[in-house]
Structures are given as structure tokens and as C-alpha cells.
Amino acid sequence: MSKFPRGKTAVVGAATYGLGEAPGFTALELAAGASLAALDDAGLALKDVDGLFVALPEDQFSGLSLSEYFGIHPAITDNNRVGGSSFQTHAIVAALALEAGLCNVALIAYGSNQRSAAGRLVTPTRPFPYEGPYKPTYPISAYALSAARHMYQYGTTRRQFAEVAVAARAWAQLNPEAFARDPLTIDEVLASRMVSDPLSVRDCCLVTDGASAVVMTRADRARHTTHAPVHLLGGAAATTHRNIMAMDDLTVTGAADSGRRAFEYAGLQPADVDVLQLYDAFTINPILFLEDLGFCKKGEGGAFVEGGRIAPGGALPVNTNGGGLSCTHPGMYGLFTMVEAVRQLRGDTGARQVQGAKVALAHGNGGTLSSQATLIFGTEETL
């Protein structure tokens, strides 16, 4: 097996910017704001950046656009676009590039003004010949298929999906940055308007503006930045399909592959993880990922989340910022999982802090369960 540069690189800066509503800002400007905040967090400057990783929603040349906006000339850029897992793949490539000496400081950035500019979910850029005739609502209808199959095959219930939404809201109420902080009950989720059966409006992620960014460098340099470094211990990605109709099994995602390899690279197991940040575009997602990443057996995810297990005070803290369901979801959420993982391991998340957290997992999902990417971070003690 190829050797991942375990602990050889680290995140030294992390920031969010413009969460919720940011009228008047372009996606590029939001990404720039998050980037400057992350660099300031690390005690670094724009002139230090020689690796740039970015995937803006409407700009296929966003690596060039952000470089020009900043007036920098990076030695390496990456604009890989696989949806919400793009940023985990950026971190994997950045780690390899840093270890190889292709760059010294890597900036990973994202921004979107989806709420103020469009106010709706992203739709496909090209027709899907085998799905289009049925007029699905993208992307929710694809996730509804997975949810319905999970219910049929394993007896999962809408109440168990609601547990995911309620847990996310409880975490959001501890997070001043979160967009949705009103109380939410299981009964309210179950009574909410159906969007694509069996998923209701409260089973769906938010539509917000917002941006985030992280700064990575080699471990030797990381020790001289502002904060204690958060080391990247393992990372892996998997692609299984493009269209949902090509998915081999609607209840098994590529996380089963990406997670297995990420844990192998990190030399850890699910039991070693203190806090999880899982891409929760819909309530079915965390249930699938908890199963596929090895935190419970296949088919047991619904029962696993019952009783507030993943909520504040539960046995397994999941999506401690409120996730895409209650904190923010500006089109693609993957980078926000990484920011929250870093903040938790630095111990600076206030009321939602998971005490003693040393290992965090940040998982990204792209397309319609199409691309999965898993990162495992650790403090200095885990090296």
C-alpha cells in the first residue's frame, strides 16, 4: 500500500467568513475573506502562499481567479471539482505537494453566495437521460431514493432521520455562527412539509451564503505558527458513480472505501475518534456514513443515532458546529467539516467544545453520494 505522509503536514490556520447571509458579496470575495482570516489565524501572509486549492461554484478557473485577485503567483494550483468532497481531496493533494517540496504553504478556500444570489439548490449542468424523464428534484430526489431503500431494507424510520436533524440543531444552539438556532423537536421534523418522500424540509440542509478556508504547511514549520498545529494523519477518497441510477447499492457509499484507507494510513480505528464532522446534506447522510466509516454495522445507523447519541452530551459527538442542517450550507459543505475538526482539536469552540478531543474525522460527500473523501486529524499527542 502507498504510504501517506502521516503527520508530516498540519493545518495551522482555519476560518469561516460571511456565514448565513452576505448580500453584496461575490463567491470570490467571500472566499478571499475566509482566506485572509485563515492566514491571519496562522500568523502568515498572502506572500507566503505558494499552493492554492479552490473550487468556486460558478468559476471553472477559480484557481486562476483567486490568484489574480490576491496578486499572488502560486507554484501549484488545484481546482478539482467533485462536489462537496472537493476540499478533502484538496487536502490530500496539498499534503503530498508539501511533503514533496512542491510548495511550502497551501491555502484551501471556498466561498458561495448561493442564498443571496440564487436562493435555491444547485441543479444539474447537463441532462441525465435515464433520470430526467421522471422529473426528479435534484439533488434531494437522489438522496430520497437512498433513504427509502434504507427504510425498506433495514427498517429505518423517519423518526430516526429526525434524530439527526434534532442533534444538529442542538449543536447549532451552542454555536454563535450557526444560521438556524431555534429549538427543534422530533415531532416538528416529522410534521414538516414533505419535499421528496421520505425527506421533509427539516431533513434537508440549509441554503446559505458563506466561506471557509484552511492553511496547511509542513510539520516542522507548523510548530512556529500561531496555534498548536493540527496534523493530518490520514486521508483517502473514493468515486463510485456520477448519476444516482448508476450507484451499485443505494445503501452503501464510497465512504466504506475512503474511510478504511484513511484509517489504515492514520494507524487508527473508529474507536480512536473523539469527534466526527460528517457531510449532512440530508439526514440520511450521517446514518450512511456512520455505518460505512465503521462506527456501527450496516443497517444499524438509524438505531445508533437514537436517544441523542450524536447530540451534545451523547456518546459520540457528530457535527458539533450544527452541520449543514443547522449551521451553514453554501452549496458545498466539505471544507466546513475540516474547519470545525481543527477548531475542536485546538480546543477553542467554546460551549460546544468536546473536552479532551485528540482525534477528529472530517468527511466530505460530493454529487449524489458519488464522491466520498475522509480525513483524519490529530493533535501533537497522536504522532
Report pLDDT digits (tens) over 102-126.
999 999 999 999 999 865 554 555 6
Report pLDDT digits (tens) over 187-218.
999 999 999 999 999 999 999 999 999 999 99
Q: Per-residue pLDDT averaged across 226-240, rounded?
A: 96
Q: What is the pLDDT of residue 126?
A: 63
Task: Write the secondary structure of the chain as one string of H (helix), E (strand) and C (coil).
Answer: CCCCCCCCEEEEEEEEEEEECCCCCCHHHHHHHHHHHHHHHHCCCHHHCCEEEECCCCCCCHHHHHHHHHCCCCCEEECCCECECHHHHHHHHHHHHHHHCCCCEEEEEEEECHHHHCCCCCCCCCCCCCCHHHCCCCCHHHHHHHHHHHHHHHCCCHHHHHHHHHHHHHHHCCCCCCCCCCCCCHHHHHHCCEEECCEEHHHECCCCEEEEEEEEEEHHHHCCCCCCCEEEEEEEEEECCCCHHHCCCCCCCCHHHHHHHHHHHHCCCHHHCCEEEECCCECHHHHHHHHHCCCCCCCCHHHHCHHHCCCCCCCCCECCCCHHHHCCCCCCCHHHHHHHHHHHHHCCCHHHCCCCCCEEEEEEEECCCCEEEEEEEECHHHC
Q: What is the pLDDT of residue 229?
A: 96
Query: What is the residue-averaged pLDDT of the chain?
Result: 95
Q: What is the pLDDT of residue 375?
A: 98
Is residue 320 over pLDDT 80? yes
Q: Per-residue pLDDT averaged across 272-297, rounded?
A: 98
Confidence grade of residue 146 (pLDDT, cut at 50, 70, 90): very high
Q: What is the pLDDT of residue 129?
A: 77
Report pLDDT digits (tens) over 24-72.
999 999 999 999 999 999 999 999 999 999 999 888 899 999 999 999 9
Q: What is the pLDDT of residue 135?
A: 81
